[in-house]
Amino acid sequence: MSVITLTTDFGSKDSFVGVMKGVMLKINRESTFVDITHQITPQNVGQAAYVIYSAFSYFPQGAVHLCVVDPGVGSSRSPVVLEAAGHYFVGPDNGIFTKIIRNFEPTAIHEIVNRDFMEPDVSSTFHGRDVFAPAAAWLSRGTVRLEEFGPAVKAPVTLDLPKQVRSAANLIEGSIIYIDGFGNAVTNITRSLLEEVEKNIQADGVEIALHAGVIKSILPNYSMAPDQNTICATIGSWNTLEVFLANGDAAGVFGLAVDDHVEVRYY
Amino acid sequence: MSVITLTTDFGSKDSFVGVMKGVMLKINRESTFVDITHQITPQNVGQAAYVIYSAFSYFPQGAVHLCVVDPGVGSSRSPVVLEAAGHYFVGPDNGIFTKIIRNFEPTAIHEIVNRDFMEPDVSSTFHGRDVFAPAAAWLSRGTVRLEEFGPAVKAPVTLDLPKQVRSAANLIEGSIIYIDGFGNAVTNITRSLLEEVEKNIQADGVEIALHAGVIKSILPNYSMAPDQNTICATIGSWNTLEVFLANGDAAGVFGLAVDDHVEVRYY
Amino acid sequence: MSVITLTTDFGSKDSFVGVMKGVMLKINRESTFVDITHQITPQNVGQAAYVIYSAFSYFPQGAVHLCVVDPGVGSSRSPVVLEAAGHYFVGPDNGIFTKIIRNFEPTAIHEIVNRDFMEPDVSSTFHGRDVFAPAAAWLSRGTVRLEEFGPAVKAPVTLDLPKQVRSAANLIEGSIIYIDGFGNAVTNITRSLLEEVEKNIQADGVEIALHAGVIKSILPNYSMAPDQNTICATIGSWNTLEVFLANGDAAGVFGLAVDDHVEVRYY
């Protein structure tokens, strides 16, 4: 029960992340920390929502996922703990758990109000240290029930994240939701919807249309790219359609960006 | 006794930090490592002095803090171990522990000369690996007394770091001591001195003067900023006055830098 | 047996590294992870080969070194496990283990084909997560023999990495093999070959010739540099000749790069 992951926009320059781990070790000396990323674009709650959703299930059941992208720190937004899919999540109630809440049935979501589970002095600028880290560490001990943190949250905040739509029998519309560090552009068009469409219609081929041009196939892997200059598509590690350039930076070269429209048309 | 934190200017590109951890695991397989930061500005001993001081107390008592910003590696500067406030510190005697030494009464400071607690071959360029990491790991085992490392250090090196001064009944002068990764400018003007002045005088208001302009209040938190263009101040997570821009990069936008003069005037 | 190091070109922006650790914790809850680096230049297998070689021996015997720089992911290149010098190595058979294979006698090298030691669904784009991480975690448990992963590899891929050559009694030719984060230029000219030449001939002095100029001595350490503008040389932490600038960025200032020719001439 004591694996704790961390996802923040705190970067690696400052002591923020280290200090949160110190606070947690004081509460649970047996914590095992795994950094998912600290390079969420500052204050980009939506990006964090995707990253957590794509990563959490690779961790052991019972893991605690501490997620702090918190532009409203010190305001009236609530801190929350929630349980879904056998995992625990701790963070601000600002939509960071949108994808978890929409895709899994959380068994409980509770506000953190009980000061027994916070640092003695709660600053107004660093709830990662004073509220969220202690809550995660207490949860990781496995002896605190969610309702002990505070009252149930009836209507957690969710973001209006872009959806994939099957807008015709042979057409899926979606968008780029993430650019990874290699410059690959991850879309929200899932393998399962692609397979559903393929099963439904007898298609001869497929075209992926982006503002940067048209891609003529979905390759089985990166190394099937014909050369290092052709924009290509495959099913990436998020199990969604991904646009790439062999051993290159697709987003940089072709000017791809989050929210770009993507169409997949079978013919 | 086996939490070991690391604060260095080694960055994350090279294997330096990983190798230090390998050396420590050979000596104490039960070590739990927490990286505070490896992005101290290269050779900036003063910056490291502030970062360690602001972070160490969030870790469990008995933690060992390995601090390596060491422009004099290979020269005659001494390696030291010290104990203060129930924590252990290991690093070069070059002023990196200035804030620890000034603000706490170290119970002991010893030079590291005993080669039993070093790597068999001590290089002249990487004492982090060959001297400091082994000393930290031995300390973390809890079975070595500080005096076993070597003779007591009578006059450890301390830096002349900028001080806050109450230069009049209603006036505090200080300076910016750190710019964090978000662009917030941390000053050395403490909450406790601000509160002392507020208690002493019957003030109607407060003004914070920087070269970049005058700030008209100390806000309770970031989210009280009137808008995203106004330079603001609050008490930050170091428990000192901090200058910020709501969801923005105050240092970048207003050209704030370490050592900038800051005045807080009550009226 | 459960120290696992990680060396990749995955960077720190994405969840790739965290997800690999999650996968490993599911298999071996007792894993201790140490990141060597995730900032190998993307797809630079040769750079990774040097970094792993220079780092691995500082870890405890039995450590598992997970190395993923894998431009051929999804192609026919094999995944392998190997044992050498009492350590285990896991990664693609693309030359990443060249220096290990050439400098130590691997006791066994096996292809990973047994799907019992992979994630249930193996993607075509992220074998770090689906093939290499599980193999490393299974190895770290100490209960799986290398031959259980798959057939022995007779002729592992090795790269033609630049060699140092003693081209005359008083002359060593080599090259720059790595630029570290401080800008120091690490060469492949070893301390042991330098000492051998020094012992053989009665030299009055030494000259190191680079395209950037001639260095007139090998200093005992960084702090012996005469000033902060003179290009200098010492024996660095890789136990090879290293070119540096005191408290400065030698590679940046003098335009040093990997593969630059270096000559050491005794006279």
Could you read off the pLDDT of A139-164 as tens digits, one per residue?
999 999 999 999 999 999 999 999 99
Q: Is A220 part of the contact surface with chain C (CB cutoff 8 Å)? A: yes
Q: Is C180 part of the contact surface with chain B (CB cutoff 8 Å)? A: yes
Residue B1: pLDDT band (50, 70, 90) is low
Side-chain-side CA neighbours of residue C145 (13 Å): 5
Residue C99: pLDDT band (50, 70, 90) is very high
Overall residue count recorded for chain B in this entry: 267
Element (H, E) at C102: helix C98-103
Bridge partners of A106, per DSSP, are none
Quickly tell me which residue has 């040389």 as its tokens. C233
Q: Are A124 and A113 in contact (CB under 8 A)?
A: no
Q: What is the pLDDT of residue C78?
A: 95
**Dihedral sign, Cα of residue C11, residue C12, residue C13, residue C14:** positive
> What is the maximum span of chain C, computed from C-alpha positions, in angstroms?
65
The reported pTM is 0.96
Mean pLDDT on B128-146: 97
Residue of B nearest to A11 (CA): B181
Q: What is the pLDDT of residue A86?
A: 97
Element (H, E) at B193: helix B191-200
User: Which residue, among A6, A9, A36, A241, would best test binding to C if mutated, counting the most C CBs under 10 Å from its CB?
Assistant: A36
- Judged by CB atoms closer than 8 Å, whether chains meet at A14 and B180 is answered as yes
Residue C90: pLDDT band (50, 70, 90) is very high
Mean pLDDT on C110-114: 98
Q: Measuring CA to CA, which residue among A18, C255, A36 is closest to residue B17?
A: A18
pLDDT digits (tens, 9 = 90+) for B88-102: 999 999 999 999 999
SS3 annotation, chain A: CCEEEEEECCCCCCCHHHHHHHHHHHHCCCCEEEEEECCCCCCCHHHHHHHHHHHHHHCCCCCEEEEECCCCCCCCCCEEEEEECCEEEEEECCCCCHHHHHHCCCCEEEECCCHHHCCCCCCCCCHHHHHHHHHHHHHHCCCCCHHHCCCECCCCCCCCCCCCEEEECCEEEEEEEEECCCCCEEEEEEHHHHHHHHHHCCCCCEEEEECCEEECCCECCHHHCCCCCCCEEEECCCCEEEEEECCECHHHHHCCCCCCEEEEEEC
Interface confidence (ipTM) of the complex:
0.95
C-alpha–C-alpha distance, residues A261 and A210, integer Å: 6
pLDDT digits (tens, 9 = 90+) for A22-39: 999 999 999 999 999 999
Q: Of A115-124, A137-146, A193-202, C71-80, which range is least confident?
A: C71-80
Residue C1 pLDDT more than 60? Answer: no
What tokens were used for C76? 């026919």
Mean pLDDT on B198-225: 93
Q: What is the pLDDT of residue A19?
A: 98
Report CA C53 to chain centroid distance, whole Å. Answer: 4
- Judged by CB atoms closer than 8 Å, whether chains meet at A71 and B247 is answered as yes
Residue B73: pLDDT band (50, 70, 90) is confident
- Judged by CB atoms closer than 8 Å, whether chains meet at C235 and B11 is answered as no
What tokens were used for C204? 């009055």
Residue C160: pLDDT band (50, 70, 90) is very high
What is the per-residue DSSP string for C43-80? T-HHHHHHHHHHHGGGSPTT-EEEEE--TTTTSSPPEE
Residue B76: pLDDT band (50, 70, 90) is confident
Residue C252 pLDDT more than 90? Answer: yes
B25 chain-C contacts, CB cut-off 8 A:
3, 32, 34, 59-60
Q: Is B10 part of the contact surface with chain C (CB cutoff 8 Å)? A: yes
Residue of C nearest to A246 (CA): C71
pLDDT digits (tens, 9 = 90+) for A249-262: 999 999 999 999 99
C-alpha–C-alpha distance, residues C52 and A34, integer Å: 22
Q: What is the mean pLDDT of chain C?
A: 95
- Judged by CB atoms closer than 8 Å, whether chains meet at B23 and C58 is answered as yes
A141 burial class (0-12, 13-18, 19+ CB within 10 angstroms)?
A: middle
pLDDT digits (tens, 9 = 90+) for B19-67: 999 999 999 999 999 999 999 999 999 999 999 999 999 999 999 999 9
Residue A202 pLDDT more than 90? Answer: no
Task: Name the phi and psi angles at A134, rounded to 5.
Answer: -60, -40
**Which domains occur in chain A, in start order?**
2-148 (3.40.50.10790), 165-266 (2.40.30.90)
Mean pLDDT on B149-157: 97
Q: What is the pLDDT of residue C205?
A: 93
Q: What is the pLDDT of residue A112?
A: 98
Mean pLDDT on C190-204: 93
Other beta carbons within 10 angstroms of residue B85's beta carbon come to: 14
Instruction: For chain B, give the percent of residues with pLDDT over 70.
Output: 100
**Subunits with 3+ C-beta pairs closer than 8 A to A:** B, C
Q: What is the pLDDT of residue A1?
A: 54
Residue C215: pLDDT band (50, 70, 90) is very high
Q: Measuring CA to CA, which residue among A26, A47, A38 is closest to residue A178?
A: A47
Bridge partners of A154, per DSSP, are none
Residue C28: pLDDT band (50, 70, 90) is very high
Q: What is the distance between the terminal CA atoms of chain A, rounded to a whole angstrom? A: 50
- Judged by CB atoms closer than 8 Å, whether chains meet at A237 and C42 is answered as no
Q: What is the mean pLDDT of chain A?
A: 95
Residue of A nearest to C75 (CA): A223
In degrees, rounded to 5, the angle at the alpha carbon of residue C257 between the alpha carbons of residues C102 and C160 is: 25
Q: What is the pLDDT of residue A124?
A: 87
Q: Are B46 and B159 in contact (CB under 8 A)?
A: yes
Residue B13: pLDDT band (50, 70, 90) is very high
Side-chain-side CA neighbours of residue A43 (13 Å): 11
C51 chain-B contacts, CB cut-off 8 A:
14-15
Mean pLDDT on A70-98: 94
In chain C, residues 25-44 whose CB comes closer than 8 Å to chain A: 25-26, 29, 33, 42-43
Quickly tell me which residue has 């285990």 as its tokens. C88
Q: What is the pLDDT of residue B247?
A: 87
Size of interface A-C (CB pairs under 8 A): 90
C43 burial class (0-12, 13-18, 19+ CB within 10 angstroms)?
A: middle
Residue A41 pLDDT more than 70? Answer: yes
User: Which residue, among A65, A180, A221, A237, would best test binding to C if mutated, counting the most C CBs under 10 Å from its CB?
Assistant: A237
Q: Measuring CA to CA, which residue among C73, C124, C71, C69 is closest to residue A219?
A: C124
Q: What is the mean pLDDT of chain B?
A: 95
Q: Is A73 part of the contact surface with chain B (CB cutoff 8 Å)? A: yes
- Judged by CB atoms closer than 8 Å, whether chains meet at C59 and B14 is answered as no
Q: What is the pLDDT of residue A76?
A: 83
Percent helix, strand, coil in chain C (nearest 5)? 25, 30, 45
Residue B17: pLDDT band (50, 70, 90) is very high
C-alpha–C-alpha distance, residues A70 and B206, integer Å: 28
Mean pLDDT on C123-144: 95
A137 chain-B contacts, CB cut-off 8 A:
none
Residue A17 pLDDT more than 60? Answer: yes
Q: What is the distance between the terminal CA atoms of chain B, rounded to a whole angstrom? A: 50
Which among C14, C26, C29 has the least Cβ separation from residue A37?
A: C14
